[in-house]
A and B are shown apart, each in its own frame.
Chain A
């Protein structure tokens, strides 16, 4: 399981559209070998077909696709956008924090989501995510 290792974190990424934002988070996963390029395409397809349902909190998007779409290892990547982008969500736009999720086995999946949920449930830590200057600052929030 690769949960937010340095190579899976990008701060102040430039993305002008939701597609660019999803691609940015997806390419971190591909570079580290957690998922194939097809997985990023599957995340984009899901957004186009099902809409921005994965923007589950103000400013926070959790794009993901089905495990069959080219998954090698459970992982989470994080991209903070330099400028927030509208995904078309009625109440939670615009998005500046993007977490792309890749799940493999059931147990890894649940453990990953639980870690992410505990972090994002805490408004102080979400605020710290927005202010983080370095990747270590982000990783420290998860300890």
Chain B
């Protein structure tokens, strides 16, 4: 099961989200492969879930993955709550 964290350039903020998503998955016992990339590459990258901020979600509309919007990349509570919606 693959999760893709997406930001504008694919080297900074998506990596931060990835670190926190990996930690959240560990704490929730979710087994997933978590990767990160930029918004242009994301459209060509298969994934089951895409995690990103609201600003870029529009550009990813056509992607078959389920979109999970994270407002605060530093809020482990928010990340875990949103993951739990799909994995409880």
Contacts and interface: CB of A to CB of B under 8 A. Distances in A.
12 contacts: A50-B9, A52-B55, A53-B7, A53-B8, A53-B53, A54-B12, A57-B75, A58-B72, A66-B9, A89-B54, A117-B19, A121-B75
Interface residues of A, number: 31
Contacts, number: 76
B11 A53 contact: no
Interface size of B as a range: 20 to 34
A54 B15 contact: no
Interface of A: 46, 50-58, 60, 62, 64-67, 89-92, 101, 103, 109-110, 113-114, 116-117, 120-121, 126
A110 B15 contact: yes
Given A91-B71, A92-B71, A54 B76 contact: no
B43 interface: no
